[in-house]
Amino acid sequence: MNLNEEYVHFQESITSLNRSWRILCELENAPSGNAIWSAAYRMVIVEYCKPFTISQINENERYTLPLPNLPDEAKNFHARLLKLRNQVMAHSDLRVLDAKVFYDQTDEYPVPLIVQNVQGNFPKVSEIRNQVEAVLDALYQQGAQYELRFKERP
């Protein structure tokens, strides 16, 4: 990947993280529990994770933004958000649901019944916002390196 492609990906990553942050700010002041709030919450996690999931640069190259140097607690929370995005928010990972189908063939009108785990224990909006802000702060500091790298180009 050349410097221009890397810089575009870096800026797109910041855009996604800022979009996540703006939605979080709105969610903090909005009543939860409705479909719009739930969709926005999911979008927050998807937008946060975009920079850290595989991006196709060209036919032959794929790239993922490295996580900035953060404390271990923030790295663990980052991994939790990626897992949530990959298994629940953007995909349906059946392993997480651990679903079982019960079907009583002896009933006059047998109906299959699905029993599954309830998805809960989602991170609080304030926790996600703190994470997004920490990552953005670190990336803004890294942005200065691009200025130097562009100045060094012939």
Give 10-residue mean pLDDT values along the chain (154 residues).
91 98 96 93 97 88 92 97 86 63 77 66 94 97 90 83
Q: What is the largest CA-CA distance in the chain?
A: 81
Sequence-separated (6 or more) residues with CB below 8 Å from residue 71: none
pLDDT at residue 79 in the model: 96
Per-residue model confidence (pLDDT) at position 92: 66
Residue in this structure with the two tokens 């575009």, named with its chain if needed? 8
At 126 the pLDDT is 97
Residue pair 57/27 in contact by the 8 Å Cβ criterion? no
Where does the chain have alpha helices with state H? 3-28, 35-49, 72-84, 94-97, 125-152
Looking at residue 120, what is its pLDDT? 64
Give the angle subtended at the CA of 72 by the CAs of 69 and 77, to the nearest 5°: 100
| Residue-level pLDDT at 20 | 98
- In this prediction, residue 51 carries a pLDDT of 97
H or E element in which residue 34 lies: none
pTM of the model: 0.81
Burial of 93 (0-12, 13-18, 19+ CB in 10 A): exposed
Instruction: State the amino acid at position 120 in one-letter form.
Output: G
